[in-house]
């Protein structure tokens, strides 16, 4: 498989959120504004990229029996780094993402890629896989967030977009709005898939 | 047995490397995080003492322990407009820290939660700003109150507790009352006109 496929599969064919249904918890929780979504996406991408590279580098030396604890230690280390750096340099983002920054440790996208891909593939491929999956995850989060922020608070990236006559649909920035929007996106992706295979 | 030792050894090596890497990152980020904390305190002080000149607010310490802050009307520090103290009490899952500002007659003029890690969706409502409003509705209830009428509705007071977050509401309310009492003691009571600087040091 050409290496470019490994990159682009993360957007559509194997999009972690819409297709693999991984990492749904942060997608639901921090997609209430585009800023949060991009911040979370960037943090998760960084962790994914680093953990994929390290896991791939040491894949031959890791005993099979303890690979999961080792992967978790590696992931947790990078998450802590992100947490510390964010607290020091982007305190507002750190505050609005709150508990979901440390929770990147248990984001299944990251352990999933370490186990399913980086543990079996070369460093270059793992790097591209991490980058593609990370951007795909950010894309999914942002897609949900754009809909929710625009309709739920009439803003985009914190700026008022909709005119003053627009009545925000409060439901959309509340948790049910996350489920509704995500469900509709997953449906859209499946529908596109069906159309492609039957055509 | 030999295998267990080998696996344990490898795990230990991995965690040791991770720990070393983290301590290096910590060295770099620690001063930055502390600087951010200082800024948070600074912003909380401005919120707690809205009538004071932000540059005039100074800390009063005793034996290197922070006692309270004093805010003056101008940077020249002639007329005291109020005091601020940090109220702390353990809530449901964390210590709730609030900066509270009172004027010279003992009336709360501003407050801001500095730090807490309460349950998202429940305890975090102590800081929640309702849609279309500009300040947190729970904290707004404290404004203009004196020590005599700060109590939660569940304790026969007037402050409406947050549904599903009684513990956090109560912790914050009680911490403010306790901090208030401490401040009153330190100042030897309110209502005395305090215009000079002598009690500062």
Residues from chain B that touch A99, judged by Cβ atoms under 8 A, are: 117, 120
Q: What is the pLDDT of residue B93?
A: 86
- Contact criterion met (CB below 8 Å) for A88 and A23: no
Q: What does the alpha-carbon distance between residue B173 and residue B131 come to, in Å, rounded to a whole number?
A: 24
Q: Tell me the shortest Cα–Cα distance from A8 to chain B, in angstroms.
A: 31
Chain B, 157 to 176: residues with Cβ < 8 Å from chain A are: none
Q: What is the pLDDT of residue B115?
A: 86
Structure tokens at A1: 């498989």
Walking along chain B (201 residues) 10 residues at a time, the average pLDDT comes out as: 91 95 95 91 91 86 86 86 92 92 91 85 82 84 89 88 88 93 85 49 43
- A63-94 pLDDT, tens digit each: 999 999 999 999 999 999 999 999 999 988 88
Contact A70 B131 (CB under 8 A): no
Q: What does the alpha-carbon distance between residue A77 and residue A180 come to, in Å, rounded to a whole number?
A: 34
Q: Which residue has the higher pLDDT, A197 or A148?
A: A148
Contact B32 A89 (CB under 8 A): yes
Does residue A7 surpass a pLDDT of 50?
yes
pTM: 0.77
Q: What is the pLDDT of residue B109?
A: 93
Q: Indicate the domain borders of chain B.
A: 47-187
Long-range contact pairs involving B73-82 (C-beta distance under 8 Å, separation at least 24): B77/B197, B78/B195, B79/B195, B80/B104, B80/B194, B80/B195, B81/B49, B81/B51, B81/B52, B82/B49, B82/B51, B82/B52, B82/B109
Q: Which of B3, B7, B14 to mutate: most A Cβ within 10 Å?
A: B14
The answer to whether residue A133 neighbours chain B at the CB level (below 8 Å) is: no
- A157-189 pLDDT, tens digit each: 878 877 777 777 878 888 889 999 999 999 999
């Amino acid at each position: 498989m050409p290496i470019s496929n490994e990159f682009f599969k993360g957007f559509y064919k194997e999009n972690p959120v819409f297709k693999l249904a991984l990492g749904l918890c942060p997608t639901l929780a921090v997609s209430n504004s585009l800023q949060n979504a991009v911040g979370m996406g960037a943090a998760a991408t960084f962790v994914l990229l680093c953990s994929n590279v390290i896991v791939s580098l040491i894949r031959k030396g890791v005993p099979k029996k303890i690979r999961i604890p080792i992967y978790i230690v590696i992931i947790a280390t990078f998450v802590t780094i992100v947490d510390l750096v964010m607290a020091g340099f982007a305190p507002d983002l750190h505050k609005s993402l709150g508990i979901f920054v440390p929770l990147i440790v248990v984001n299944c996208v990251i352990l999933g890629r370490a186990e399913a891909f980086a543990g079996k593939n070369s460093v270059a491929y793992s790097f591209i896989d991490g980058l593609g999956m990370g951007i795909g995850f950010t894309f999914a989060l942002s897609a949900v967030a754009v809909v929710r922020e625009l309709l739920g608070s009439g803003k985009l990236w914190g700026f008022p977009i909709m005119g003053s006559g627009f009545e925000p649909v409060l439901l959309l920035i509340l948790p049910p709005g996350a489920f509704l929007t995500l469900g509709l996106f997953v449906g859209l992706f499946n529908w596109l898939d069906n159309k492609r295979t039957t055509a | 047995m030999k295998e267990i030792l080998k696996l344990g050894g490898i795990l230990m090596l991995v965690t040791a490397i991770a720990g070393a890497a983290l301590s290096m990152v910590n060295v770099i980020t620690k001063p930055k995080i502390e600087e951010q904390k200082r800024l948070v305190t600074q912003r909380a002080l401005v919120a707690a003492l809205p009538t004071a000149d932000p540059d005039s607010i100074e800390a009063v310490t005793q034996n290197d322990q922070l006692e309270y802050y004093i805010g003056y009307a101008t940077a020249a520090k002639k007329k005291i407009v109020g005091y601020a103290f940090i109220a702390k009490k353990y809530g449901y899952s964390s210590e709730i820290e609030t900066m509270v500002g009172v004027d010279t007659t003992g009336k709360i003029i501003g407050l801001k939660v500095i730090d807490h890690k309460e349950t998202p969706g429940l305890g975090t409502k102590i800081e929640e700003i309702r849609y279309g409003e500009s300040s947190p509705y729970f904290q707004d209830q404290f404004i203009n109150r004196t020590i005599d009428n700060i109590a939660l509705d569940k304790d026969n007071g007037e402050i409406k507790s947050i549904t599903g977050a009684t513990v956090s509401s109560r912790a914050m309310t009680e911490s403010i009352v306790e901090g208030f009492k401490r401040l009153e003691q330190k100042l030897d009571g309110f209502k005395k006109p305090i215009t000079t600087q002598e009690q500062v040091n």
